[in-house]
Amino acid sequence: METIRGYRKHSHAAWASGYLAARGVTNRVVSTSATFTTLSGGSEHKIAVDENDTEEAIRLLDEAGDPSSLDDDSPAESDTMPVWPWLLAIAGLLYVIAHREDRDTRNGWFGSTWTLDRNGDGEADLKAGHDHAGRMTGYQADDNFDGQFDFRSRFEDNVVVESDRDPDFDGDFDIHTVFRHGVAETSELRPDGDTRPPLRRWRYDNGVLISEEYDKDRDGKIDQVERFSPFGEAVSIVPTPTK
């Protein structure tokens, strides 16, 4: 994998990692010791992606903006800090864990939440949720800045498992995508977010589109299948038998 960006704060690196994962870019956070970081003058937490995803990952992170403006309720992290505050913090965390109810399940996708206001209008347009172990649980984005989230994704064990998108920004999530091991497996289009069989279904092999199915009258029976090469070129259109 190739390192594309570094962050001083782990919270910023975790947020960037979740942002990429929610957009289908597999990545991981590589952390070095604070001592090495101080001596080398580098970044303590770095994002690494597959070489084939480098350009797309950089573009997405540039689009997301500087995570230093995250609206985090926790105290700011410091580059250098004595050991005893960390010991107190760990002791306090253990006490909270031992005496709290399981709020993660009760609150749905979001236990603790980080938000980001990309256009400076005072409204959060990116939201990332984490459980009390620091694992990503969910992600939401408002890409047209109208105050409504038009993209959302759910994570299990820090890996994206499903997402929903509202491409026409009408308030209904039309496209639902299922992921396997963090890689897109299928996507389905249901206009206006209704419950009828999907109008279109895309299938992927290791994240690469291999076919697109059409059910024009949405009766649950496929009318046509279009197949694609590994390079994204349509290679055949197969009409299904007459219904």
Q: What pLDDT, on a 0 to 100 scale, did the predictor assign at position 158? A: 86
Q: What pLDDT, on a 0 to 100 scale, did the predictor assign at position 199? A: 93
Q: What pLDDT, on a 0 to 100 scale, did the predictor assign at position 213? A: 94
Q: What is the mean pLDDT of residues 205-228?
A: 92
- Among 117, 143, 134, CA closest to 74: 134
Q: What pLDDT, on a 0 to 100 scale, did the predictor assign at position 242? A: 54
Q: What pLDDT, on a 0 to 100 scale, did the predictor assign at position 41? A: 44
Helix axes 54-64, 10-22, angle to 10 degrees: 120
DSSP letters for the chain: -EEEEEESSHHHHHHHHHHHHHTT--EEEEE--HHHHHHHT--SEEEEE-GGGHHHHHHHHHHH--GGG----SPPP-SS--HHHHHHHHHHHHHHHHH---HHHHTTT-SEEEEE-SSSSSS--EEEEE-TTS-EEEEEE-TT-SSS--EEEEEETTEEEEEEE-TT-SSS--EEEEEETTEEEEEEE-GGG-SSPPSEEEEEETTEEEEEEE-TT-SSS--EEEEE-TTS-EEEEEEPPP-
Q: What pLDDT, on a 0 to 100 scale, did the predictor assign at position 32? A: 61
Q: What is the pTM of this model?
A: 0.56
Q: What pLDDT, on a 0 to 100 scale, did the predictor assign at position 90? A: 57
Q: What pLDDT, on a 0 to 100 scale, did the predictor assign at position 206? A: 85
Q: What pLDDT, on a 0 to 100 scale, did the predictor assign at position 224? A: 93
Q: What pLDDT, on a 0 to 100 scale, did the predictor assign at position 153? A: 94
Q: What pLDDT, on a 0 to 100 scale, did the predictor assign at position 21? A: 73
Q: Does 231 or 147 have the greater pLDDT score?
A: 147
Q: What pLDDT, on a 0 to 100 scale, did the predictor assign at position 241? A: 60
Q: What is the pLDDT of residues 145-175, one digit of tens each?
A: 999 999 999 999 889 999 999 988 999 999 9
Q: What is the pLDDT of residues 24-72, one digit of tens each?
A: 787 777 766 444 333 334 456 788 888 888 998 898 888 877 776 554 4
User: For the chain, which residues make up each domain, given as ranges?
Assistant: 165-243
Q: What pLDDT, on a 0 to 100 scale, did the predictor assign at position 101? A: 40
Largest CA distance in the chain: 74
Q: What is the pLDDT of residues 71-104, one digit of tens each?
A: 444 444 444 445 445 555 555 555 544 444 443 3
Q: What is the pLDDT of residues 166-210, one digit of tens each?
A: 988 999 999 999 999 989 999 999 988 888 999 999 999 988 889
